[in-house]
Amino acid sequence: MKIKNSVALVTGANRGLGLAFARALLASGARKVYAAARNPQSVTLPGLQAVRLDVTKPEEAAAVARECGDVNLLINNAGIARDTSFLAANSLQTAREEIETNYLGTLAVSRALAPVLARNGGGAIVNVNSVLSWLNFPRAGTYSASKAAEWSLTNGLRNELRGQGTQVVALHVGLMDTDMASSISGPKIDPGDVARQTLRALEENKEEVLADEVSRQVKQGLSAEPGIYLAYSFEQKAA
Q: Which residues are catalytic?
A: 143
Question: Would you say 169 and 201 are in contact if contact means Cβ atoms under 8 Å apart?
Answer: yes
Question: H or E stretch including 196?
Answer: helix 191-203
End-to-end CA, the chain: 40
How far apart, in whole angstroms, are the C-alpha atoms of residue 8 and residue 133?
25
Question: H or E stretch including 108?
Answer: helix 106-119
